[in-house]
Amino acid sequence: MLAVSAAVATGAWWPYAWIAADLILFAIRFLLMRQCEQARRRGAKGPLAALMAAGGAWSIIFGLGCYGCIASGHMALAVLAALNVAGVVGVVSSRNAATPRYAIFVMLVVSLPYVAGALFSPAPGMFVVGIQMPFYVAGVIIVLLQNHAINARMIRAELDNRDLAIKDALTGLPNRIFLQERLRDMCGELAAPAANGGKPFAVLSMDLDGFKQVNDRFGHAVGDMLLRKVSERLKRAFRPGDVVFRIGGDEFVILLASTSEIEATYLAKRAIEKISVPFDLGVGTAIRIGLSIGSAFAPVDGSDPEILLSCSDHALYEAKRTGKGRYWAHARAAN
Q: pLDDT averaged over the chain? A: 89
Buried b (16+ CB within 10 A) or exposed e, 316-326: bbbbbeeeebb
Residue 333 has pLDDT above 50, yes or no: no
Within 13 Å of residue 284, how many CA atoms lie on the same side as its CB?
Answer: 2
145-199 pLDDT per residue, tens = 998 999 889 888 888 787 778 888 899 899 999 999 999 988 888 765 444 445 7
Which range marks the domain in which residue 316 is found?
176-329
Residue 170 lies in a domain: no
Q: Which of 163, 184, 218 is the last residue of a domain?
A: 163
For residues 321 and 278, membership in a common domain is answered with yes
Say what the pLDDT of residue 196 is.
45
Q: What are φ and ψ of residue 193, in 5° steps?
A: -55, -30
Tell me how far apart the alpha carbons of residues 75 and 123 are, in angstroms, rounded to a whole number: 8
Apex CA 22: angle with CA 20 and CA 24, to 5°?
Answer: 70
- For the segment 76-86, what is each residue's pLDDT rounded down to a tens digit? 999 999 999 99
User: Do 299 and 221 belong to one domain?
Assistant: yes
Last residue of a domain, one of 163, 195, 224: 163
pTM, 2 dp? 0.60
Catalytically annotated residues: 250
pLDDT in tens, 9-53: 998 999 999 999 999 999 999 999 999 999 888 878 889 999 999
Position 282 in a domain: yes
Residues 150, 235 within the same domain: no
Predicted confidence at residue 50, as pLDDT, reads 93
Q: Are 151 and 253 part of one and the same domain?
A: no
